[in-house]
Amino acid sequence: MELLLCRIVGLLLSWMVICPVDKKNSLKECIDKIKTVASRVLWLPFVSSQVTTRRYEEAMKKRF
């Protein structure tokens, strides 16, 4: 779940480039809310979010 939310944030950040100026603040607030929720979500029982965040960051490094 956390990975899914992080991917959504990545997609929204890409859209910020083409977003109208008057809507950028609203989009930024939405992205920040999703990031906050993603940091609190545990989709694996008994696994801290730091572990899943670390794995996501490692996967993103390999991807790029």
Per-residue model confidence as pLDDT tens digits over 6-51: 788 888 888 888 888 888 888 889 888 887 877 776 665 555 555 5
Q: Which domain holds residue 36?
A: 2-63
Q: Tell me the whole-structure pTM to 2 decimals.
A: 0.51
Number of domains in the chain: 1
| Residue 4 CA neighbour count, 13 Å, CB half | 4
Per-residue model confidence as pLDDT tens digits over 48-64: 555 556 666 776 776 65
User: Which tokens belong to 17?
Assistant: 């480039």
Distances from the Cα of 6 to the Cα of 1, 10, 21, 26, 41, angstroms: 9, 6, 24, 18, 11
Phi-psi region of 46 (alpha: psi -120 to 50; beta: other; left: phi over 0): left
Query: CB 26: neighbour CB atoms within 10 A?
Result: 10
